[in-house]
């Protein structure tokens, strides 16, 4: 975790509620400094339980306008052949799709317990 600035330390020490679920801190609550595990940046004060139960989203939505009007199989083929992980499709025909989802591994190639997914949907 990146070292806190003076403002962040003051914010943490004077906080009256958990920034994750907006619940107030009780005098006997354990407060922790929640931070992003990718960047190391401080996000805010949190209850220990809220922090442990907080989950980052592993889905990146990407929207194509009128996806079914294009030959999306070229996109699917490139995703399937050039990046590890499965591709799930919702097809109309062999070459036209309503949506598709690309499951990817983490950056160092290890299989994640919950794979990241890039969900692609048709925008109406």
pLDDT band at 56 (very low <50, low <70, confident <90, very high): low
Tell me which range, 10-19, 64-73, 74-83, 96-105, is most confidently predicted by mean pLDDT.
Answer: 10-19
Query: What is the structure's pLDDT at 37?
Result: 78
Residue 67's Cβ-count burial label (10 Å; 0-12, 13-18, 19+) is: buried
Query: What is the structure's pLDDT at 60?
Result: 66
pLDDT band at 5 (very low <50, low <70, confident <90, very high): very high
How far, in Å, are 6, 15, 39, 55, 122 from residue 1 at the CA level? 15, 19, 8, 17, 39
Q: What is the dihedral of CA 50, 51, 54, 57, to 10 degrees?
A: 150
Does 20 have pLDDT greater than 70?
yes
Residue 100's Cβ-count burial label (10 Å; 0-12, 13-18, 19+) is: buried
Cβ count near 34 (within 10 Å):
20
Q: Going by C-beta distance under 8 Å and a sequence separation of 6 or more, which residues neighbour residue 54? A: 20, 34, 46
């Amino acid at each position: 975790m990146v070292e806190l600035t003076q403002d962040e330390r003051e914010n943490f020490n004077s906080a009256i509620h958990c920034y994750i679920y907006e619940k107030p801190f009780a005098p006997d609550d354990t407060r922790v400094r929640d931070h992003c595990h990718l960047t190391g940046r401080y996000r805010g004060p949190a209850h220990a339980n809220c922090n442990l139960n907080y989950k980052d989203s592993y889905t990146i939505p990407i929207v194509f306008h009128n996806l079914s009007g294009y030959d999306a199989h070229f996109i699917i083929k490139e995703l399937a052949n050039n990046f590890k992980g499965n591709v799930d499709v919702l097809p109309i025909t062999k070459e036209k799709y309503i949506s598709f989802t690309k499951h990817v591994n983490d950056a160092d190639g290890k299989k994640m317990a919950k794979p990241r997914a890039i969900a692609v949907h048709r925008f109406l």
